[in-house]
Structure 1
Amino acid sequence: MKAMILAAGKGERMRPLTLATPKPLLRAAGKPLITYHLEHLRRAGIREVVINHAWLGDQIEETLGNGEGFGLSIQYSREGEPLETAGGIVRALPLLADDKSDWFLAINGDIWSDFDLSGLTPPPDADALLVVTSNPPHHPEGDFHLTDQGVLHSDGPDNLTFTGISLLHRRLFEGLSDQAGKLGPVLRDAMSRGRVKGLFHPGQWVDVGTPERLQALDRQLGSREPESHGRR
């Protein structure tokens, strides 16, 4: 299975930090945010990664190269002007889904989590598996409702927050173009047909969407034991 890191956003909430640096290359504990994803993917046994980019995307390619330094093979989906999440995935689909697997793993580039990606398995009778977690203070209303049977609904009691980590099947995007817009409506449509499963993550997760949350993550990770940094 291949993985896609969604990294094409302009990072407007992160300004002024993102005026000269793309958000995936902002550092926490001395390491670019996207490096944590690459390390987690490699530990999960995934070796082929697609990264979409737009804003200052050349810097991402210059920093990560072809992925060899991380023990991975990286391909890039260049958007020029940023597409929304679903559109970006549709643009990258030819790189993601092939005769080996119609499923792929998708991760938002602006999150950090200790979720073990190796625990994700394509569910039967579904088009998507989303990892959800407890609602953070800045998003108290959550996103989706997880039933006791592991099915996600677009709304319900005790909504949980979508972590930005998911397994997606290519048929979720059938008939869509790279102008499909955001991923949320695509997922909600599939939920209305009972085609989206959920998995609860009780561990750590951070939406690194503001300079303040980046600073908090930097302090959190900086207090840990040092890890391997980037290229080897």
Structure 2
Amino acid sequence: MDNLKALILAAGRGERMRPLTDHTPKPLLPVHGRPLIEWHLLALARDGVREVVINTAWLEAQFPATLGDGSRFGLRIHYSMEGRDHGGALETAGGIAKALPWLGECFWVVSGDIFAPDFRFDAARAQAFAAGSRLAHLWLVPNPPYHPRGDFGIGADGLGLSEPPQTVPRHTYSNLALMRAELCRHLPVGRPAALGPLLHEAMRRRQISVEMYTGRWENVGTPAQWEALSAPLPFGTAPPPEDRT
């Protein structure tokens, strides 16, 4: 079964990660022996994705210099260069809007600065999503200490709740999702736009489904988080897959 294409979001400046990101984009910082973004590329290739778009802005020339055309991962990589074309990052929704010509009607979205080695980019799930009508399907995680309020609730019907009642817990968006082009197609290309307001509005229209993700997940936001993540893998965690040659 063919899988969808994927977008890896990698355009951010990573201000909170300075000085580490003064000379290296955050997704290219090493984690367990390889750049953080490579964990996504290898997982996508393992699960049958063949084409990936990476949006870039900060120090963007380092991405093709490090990752090449994707062939060594079994992928074809296209770079959506926001710095070159627009002078800087376009934020998440703006970056998606610019990348749409290379993505098709439905696609995976994952942030380049998260570590989720257990996540599967399951082709059957992707095809089921594409056959439906939801604008997005989001994976949520338990709220980390630095984001205790969370982002969204989960309704009894599996739909996302923008403003859940107090009896319904809120969870944090993991930056792992399936999306439909319709969510961002109306945005002007080249203009910065945030994704959050679009997700909240679509949830109010009952157009986004959600589920919990219980695998290992880390958001690499500060040097301390990066150092903790770079510690030895816990017992039982699979080693990184081998590069394809």
Distance 2:172 2:15 in 1: 22
Residue of 59, 82, 86 corresponding to 2:89:
82
State the Cα distance separating 1:220 from its structure 2 match: 4.4
Cα contact 1:28–1:221 (8 A) shared by 2: no
Residue of 144, 155, 159 corresponding to 1:136:
144
Residue of 139, 146, 149 corresponding to 2:157:
149
Distance 1:55 1:180 in 2: 15
> Is 1:168 aligned to residue 173 of structure 2?
no
Distance 1:108 1:120 in 2: 19
Distance 1:20 1:3 in 2: 26
Return closer, same or farther for 1:134/1:209 CA change in 2, 3 Å cut-off: same
Instruction: Give the unaligned 5+ runs of structure 2.
Output: none
> Is 1:51 aligned to residue 87 of structure 2?
no
Which residue of structure 2 aligns with residue 158 of structure 1? Answer: 169
Which residue of structure 2 aligns with residue 120 of structure 1? Answer: 125
Return closer, same or farther for 1:148/1:225 CA change in 2, 3 Å cut-off: closer
Cα contact 1:151–1:194 (8 A) shared by 2: yes
Cα contact 2:14–2:21 (8 A) shared by 1: yes
Identity of aligned pairs, percent? 45
Distance 1:147 1:216 in 2: 34
Instruction: Give the unaligned 5+ runs of structure 1.
Output: none
State the Cα distance separating 1:210 from its structure 2 match: 0.8
Distance 2:80 2:91 in 1: 13
Distance 2:78 2:71 in 1: 11
Which residue of structure 2 aligns with residue 23 of structure 1? Answer: 26
Which residue of structure 2 aligns with residue 227 of structure 1? Answer: 240
State the Cα distance separating 1:133 from its structure 2 match: 1.2
Which residue of structure 2 aligns with residue 185 of structure 1? Answer: 197
- Post-superposition Cα deviations, 1:141-197, rounded to whole Å, max 9, x if no partner, equal 110001121100112130011000011101112321132511111111111100000
State the Cα distance separating 1:221 from its structure 2 match: 3.0
TM-score (norm: length of structure 2): 0.88
Number of residue pairs the alignment of both structures matches: 228
Return closer, same or farther for 1:188/1:226 CA change in 2, 3 Å cut-off: closer
Q: Give the partner amino acid of 1:162.
A: Y
User: Secondary structure at the residue paired with 2:16?
Assistant: helix
Return closer, same or farther for 1:127/1:96 CA change in 2, 3 Å cut-off: same
Distance 2:208 2:60 in 1: 32
